Amino acid sequence: MNDWFSRLFAGAYVGRRVLVTGHTGFKGSWLVLWLQAMGARVCGLSLPAEGSHSHMRALDLPIEEALVDLNHAGAVREAVQRFEPEIVFHLAAQSLVRKGYREPAGTFQTNVIGLVHLLEAVRAMPSVRAVVNATTDKCYENLDNGRAYVETDALGGHDPYSASKACAELVSASYRASFLGAAASGRPVALATARAGNVIGGGDWSEDRIVPDLVRAALNQGATTVRYPHAVRPWQHVLEPLSGYLLLAQRLLQEGEIHAQSWNFGPSSCAHLTVLQLIDRFAQHWPAVRHRVDPSPQPHEAHLLHLDCRKAREQLGWHPVWNADTMLARTAQWYRAYHEAGRIASHHDLQQYVADAQRAGLAWART
């Protein structure tokens, strides 16, 4: 444990038993790194990491874990009972839009029924006090009208992935009202949902994501095929929403159900970029990056996604830390260090992010 890190978030995570589902994935592995740096006792529940590259394997962090499928209710319940967590961060999901088109039944099964299995295990576990369910900005009914979405906007989802995450929001609200809240339970559990933007950063090797695709093509001296060049997304470094999740869970622990709501965590407007703008600026930090546009018809994806994060700013005091240039520079430098020198820059990036948050005067970063 880093003594400096242990004082982050008012020391709320020191010695806490924290369960992270999806810990072998991109976001989950970064969250485990941060939690362990703060002195939390982290437990992981996930499928094994896929592919030849894995951020979690590269970090080689000591962690209790259960490599089980969310769709196996008994295994999930047994793992939660064994870990006895106080806080649960639910990040496990089928998180790819195009895979959702290929495997709609599996996407709904994991993202909806898998969540039900986890919440059933949570309501049977007396130790749990707070749950943060990470959904997505794609859970909104996207009208492509240019307006940033607020938490009270209608849920929707054209494609199976987006619809499954809208369903996950409804499941969370139902369990909060029916089983976990003070009105329905003698042992209230504060459950909140967190809707983040398009996340990038080192250690992501997923299929059909623009930055991993750019990296793979650059390493093979090829060009990335771009399917939606003019789509606008709220791009943010992976540490940005994670700071929001951690701050939200801290407030759930300290203040309970008042914050058991849905929350947007997105970047400032300067990071709302088209896919082509993102590629061009990423290439400034890695000249080997090249692309070509695929003119053939593609499955539907929303053209424009913006998040309004005033609620998180005003009620939680959360603000993004890195602008678009810093986010892209850090991400490109991470992959170049890993693939060209075999170096993992994650610890350094985390330290720099926290230091920049302190310089910006963010309350969660005060030590």
- Distance of alpha carbon 199 from the chain centroid: 7
Question: Contact at 8 Å (CB) between 110 and 122?
Answer: no
DSSP letters spanning 123-192: HT-TT--EEEEE--GGGB----SSPPB-TTSPB--SSHHHHHHHHHHHHHHHHIIIIISTTT-SS--EEE
- Is 245 considered catalytic here? no
For residue 142 the two structure tokens come to 């996207």
What's the CA dihedral at 199, 202, 206, 211 to 10 degrees?
70
Distance CA 10, CA 26 (A): 26
Distance CA 86, CA 12 (A): 11
> Is residue 284 classed as helix, strand or coil in its secondary structure?
coil
Phi, psi dihedrals of residue 251, rounded to the nearest 5°: -70, -35
Phi, psi dihedrals of residue 209, rounded to the nearest 5°: -120, 140
Distance CA 48, CA 300 (A): 30
Distance CA 49, CA 109 (A): 19
Q: What is the DSSP letter of 303?
A: S
In the set 149, 161, 228, 335, the catalytic residue is 161
Task: Report which secondary-structure segment, H or E, holds 21.
Answer: strand 17-21
Give strand pairing partners of 190.
Answer: 130
Question: Contact at 8 Å (CB) between 345 and 337?
Answer: yes
Residue linked to tokens 């593609």: 298
Listed residue (324, 309, 315, 322) closest to 273, CA to CA = 324
The widest CA-to-CA distance across the chain, in whole angstroms, is: 60
Residues annotated as catalytic (active site), given as ranges: 161
